[in-house]
Amino acid sequence: MHESVSDAADRIKRLEVQGARNVAITAIKAIEAGAKRSKSNEKQRFLEELTDAKTVLFASRETEPLMRNAIRHIVHAVETSEEESVRELVEVVSRVSSQFLESLERSKEKIAAVGSKRVSNGSKVLTHCHSSTVTNMLLRAKQEGKSFKVVCTESRPVFQGRITAKEMLDAGIETTLIVDSAAITSEGNVINKIGTSMVALAAKEARTPFYVVSELLKFDPLTIHGDYETIEERSPQEVWKDAPSGLNIRNPAFDVTRREFIHGIICEEGIVSPHSISELISRKYPWIFEVI
């Protein structure tokens, strides 16, 4: 199982795969491909391979709760399966993987339907970083005949905002790129691309609604027990390749936006208050709390 998983992990780590949804899909497909190539002849050994794959993929991107929840769900399904045959367990992996991917697709469309209602004619939408869920929502609003403009931040140092800008332009949406000045926790805080908290703070000061567009499956269950979401620190080379000797550079990829600054979380269940996120998760996806 190691080859397909390690290749996927490397691509995720090198940022060849970007966006929480794409990272999760890549990881799921790697797990499924690895399972099909497994040489294990007993359930325990097969589970050990899955656990090793989980460890490798978890380490590839620290701040990706959607990916972690997907892998946890697959491993949990195998652990609790009554099947003992590895061949049958491989089918369990394939079935659960397909179901998870279908669930992701359904949630994306539900979010688009809910979120597009918040985009009105003549409005101007500011985006930070890149999210396929967000762009899908905006494309839905465009398809509904709404006329609006989008302003994208560059999202340095890797310029993910340029991806958003290109997608908006391809859709015929008037788009402006500006320079810069990042998971949901149990408290309703949001981990997103570095700089998000400043945008949220500015929005609150300007009395402008600040929304988070996210699948509920990006919820991190570990925060229920008091753990903090790990903030990925990337290479200083991304910030300044030829920096002066002796200069210390820190490159956190994400920051924390507190729930007080969030007007609402647009998700597959509608627009919800960040204060009620734990209760909603426990009703919608109770298995998340069982697979930590």
Q: What is the pLDDT of residue 19?
A: 87
Q: Is residue 289 part of a domain?
A: no
Residues 190, 259: Cα–Cα separation, whole Å: 7
Residues 153, 178: Cα–Cα separation, whole Å: 5
Decide if pLDDT at 187 tops 70: no
Alpha-carbon distances of 292 from 83, 150, 192, 225, 287, rounded to whole Å: 22, 38, 22, 10, 9
Work out the average pLDDT over 160-179: 88
Domain C-terminal end among 77, 110, 143: 110
pLDDT tens per residue, range 54-92: 999 999 988 889 999 999 999 999 999 999 999 999 999
Provide the pLDDT confidence category of residue 116 given band limits of 50, 70 and 90: very high
Are 219 and 239 found together in one domain?
Answer: yes
Name the average pLDDT for the chain.
Answer: 88
Decide if pLDDT at 193 tops 90: no
CATH of the domain at 71: 1.20.120.420
Domain C-terminal end among 62, 84, 110: 110
Highest-scoring range by mean pLDDT, 145-149, 158-162, 275-279: 145-149
Q: What is the pLDDT of residue 183?
A: 61
Work out the average pLDDT over 3-30: 92
Decide if pLDDT at 191 tops 50: yes
Q: What percent of the chain has pLDDT over 90?
A: 55
Q: Is residue 126 part of a domain?
A: yes
CATH of the domain at 244: 3.40.50.10470
Q: Is residue 290 part of a domain?
A: no
pLDDT tens per residue, range 119-130: 999 999 989 889
Are 100 and 221 found together in one domain?
Answer: no
What count of residues does the chain have? 292
Q: What is the pLDDT of residue 151?
A: 87
Count of domains observed in the chain:
2
Domain extent for 32? 2-110
Are 135 and 266 found together in one domain?
Answer: yes
252, 183, 229, 221: which is closest to 24 by C-alpha? 183
Q: What is the pLDDT of residue 104?
A: 92
Provide the pLDDT confidence category of residue 286 given band limits of 50, 70 and 90: confident
Residues 107, 86: Cα–Cα separation, whole Å: 31
Q: How many CB atoms lie within 10 A of CB 169?
A: 14
Specify the range with the lowest mean pLDDT, choosing from 6-10, 140-144, 225-229.
225-229
Decide if pLDDT at 182 tops 50: no
Q: Is residue 124 part of a domain?
A: yes
Specify the range with the lowest mean pLDDT, choosing from 69-78, 141-150, 270-279.
270-279
Specify the range with the lowest mean pLDDT, choosing from 145-154, 209-218, 228-237, 259-268.
228-237
Q: What is the pLDDT of residue 63?
A: 82
* Residue 64 tokens, joined: 């990706």
Are 122 and 97 found together in one domain?
Answer: no
Decide if pLDDT at 214 tops 50: yes
Q: What is the pLDDT of residue 157?
A: 81
Handedness of CA 177, 183, 189, 191 (dihedral sign): negative
pLDDT tens per residue, range 194-206: 788 888 988 988 8
Q: What is the pLDDT of residue 188?
A: 72
Decide if pLDDT at 246 tops 80: no
74 neighbors 23 (Cβ within 8 angstroms): no
Q: Establish how many alpha carbons lie within 13 A of residue 151's alpha carbon, considering only the half-sphere containing its beta carbon.
A: 8
Q: Which residue has the tokens 């753990």?
A: 227
Q: What is the pLDDT of residue 1?
A: 59
Domain C-terminal end among 94, 110, 126: 110
Decide if pLDDT at 217 tops 80: yes
Are 98 and 129 found together in one domain?
Answer: no
211, 205, 229, 200: which is closest to 272 by C-alpha? 211
Residues 6+ apart with CB under 8 A from 182: 63, 129, 190, 191, 192, 193, 194, 195, 196, 253, 254, 255, 257
Beta bridge partners of 126: 151
As a dihedral over the C-alpha atoms of residue 26, residue 28, residue 30, residue 33, rounded to 10 degrees, the angle is -130
pTM above 0.95, yes or no: no
Q: Which residue has the tokens 């890149």?
A: 130
